[in-house]
Amino acid sequence: MKDDAILSVENISKTFGGLKAVDSVTFPVRRGSITGLIGMNGSGKSTLFDLISGVLKKDRGGSVMFDGKAIDRLPPHKIFALGLGRTFQTPRLFTGMTVLENTMLAAKGQRGESPLVAPFHSRWEGQELELAKKAHDQMERLEIGGLYGKWSNEISGGQMKLVQLSNGIMGDPKMLLLDEPTAGVAPRLAQDIFQSITDERGKRGTTFFIIEHRLGVLFKHVDTILFMHQGRILAQGSPEEIVKDQTLREAYLGM
């Protein structure tokens, strides 16, 4: 089981002032799985994502291993380079850029991103076209191809979610952390988003770790669910197993 984990989080915590947002959390995420993370608002889910992706620094002690490497001291861009991408709860697109530029930006290893190479267009234009082809196909798959020329603050909140997903996939991650990919999205589109996630996993074996409140659609697509409550992981298991947890039923589902 252990060798099978692409991400293993050991005993990490994060304190804000007196509040323990994440409290000695330990769990693995299986390679190639779609794992859900559920819990009340303020239970520490997004903070946990911030710790894993390097946006926040964890408290002393514990470790985060990704694909065999310790990543808990690395800055976010190095973590991304290792193949661990993420999206944000409120979409953080680059507003001074179009949708296409947002997605193109996310591609890894662009030669034209060096200031010394950038003025010589012939040295990166071939790669640019390849990436554009990829961006194009991917945006078509997510049904946002028609938005390519819009400024990214002109589109709707649901479309922003899709663009963000598209950005995340563009970097060819081994694993992608998605923070509420369907919040504010119409039900049919939510289904589509999860369908694309499952397709993507099937196609490239990408591991997904997803925070989501839409349990109906989430449970249909995930393999494993983690339930977080007051900074701790209280239960983990398949959707069928997890709904038996008493705290989850009372505190989260209100049953």
Partner 1 sequence: MGISLNLEYGYAGQPNFGQVLFFGLGAVVGATVAADLLPMFAGMAVGNICDVSAELSRQIIALAYPAISVAVWVIALLLAMVAGGIVGVVVSYPALRVKQEWFLSMILLVSGEAFRIIVTNTPQIGCGFNGIAGITTPFYWLSSYFPSGPLQPQVPTGVYSVIIVALALACFVVAQRIGNSPYGRLLKSVRDDKTAAESLGKDVSRVRKQIMVIGSIMAGLAGALYVYYIGIASSDDFIPAVTFSVWVMMILGGYANNRGLLVGAFIITLLDRGSLVSGILLESYLPNPNLIIYGRYMVEAVILLLLLLFRQKGILPETRVKTKAYTLFDFGGVRASSTPARDGERKP
Given a contact cutoff of 8 angstroms between Cβ atoms, the answer to whether 206 and 196 are in contact is no
Binding string, 123-162, against partner 1, x = CB under 8 A?
A: -xx--xx-xxx-xx---x----xx-xxxx-xx--------
Q: Which stretch binds partner 1 (CB under 8 A): 48-56, 64-72, 184-192, 224-232?
A: 48-56
Contacts of partner 1 in 153-212 (CB under 8 A): 153-154, 167, 171
3-state SS of the chain: helix, strand, coil percent to 5? Answer: 40, 25, 35
Minimum Å gap between C-beta 109 and partner 1 is 9
Binding string, 7-46, against partner 1, x = CB under 8 A?
A: ----------------------------------------
Beta bridge partners of 246: none
Q: Which amino acid is located at 84 in the chain? A: L
Using CA atoms, how far residue 117 sits from 104, 120, 121, in Å, is: 17, 6, 8
Looking at the Cβ atoms of 89 and 198, the one nearer to partner 1 is 89
Looking at the Cβ atoms of 92 and 249, the one nearer to partner 1 is 92
Beta bridge partners of 178: 210
Minimum Å gap between C-beta 236 and partner 1 is 26
Tell me the two tokens of residue 253: 């589902």
Q: Which stretch binds partner 1 (CB under 8 A): 80-88, 193-201, 233-241, 243-251?
A: 80-88
Strand 207-211 relative to strand 34-39: parallel, antiparallel, unpaired?
parallel
Would you list the DSSP string of 51-116?
Answer: HHHTSSPPPSS-EEEETTEE-TTS-HHHHHHTTEEE--SS----TTSBHHHHHHHT-SS-GGGSTT
Q: Which residue ranges make up the site for partner 1 (CB under 8 A)? A: 53-55, 75-77, 80-81, 85-86, 88, 92-98, 100-101, 104-106, 108, 110-115, 117-121, 124-125, 128-129, 131-133, 135-136, 140, 145-146, 148-151, 153-154, 167, 171
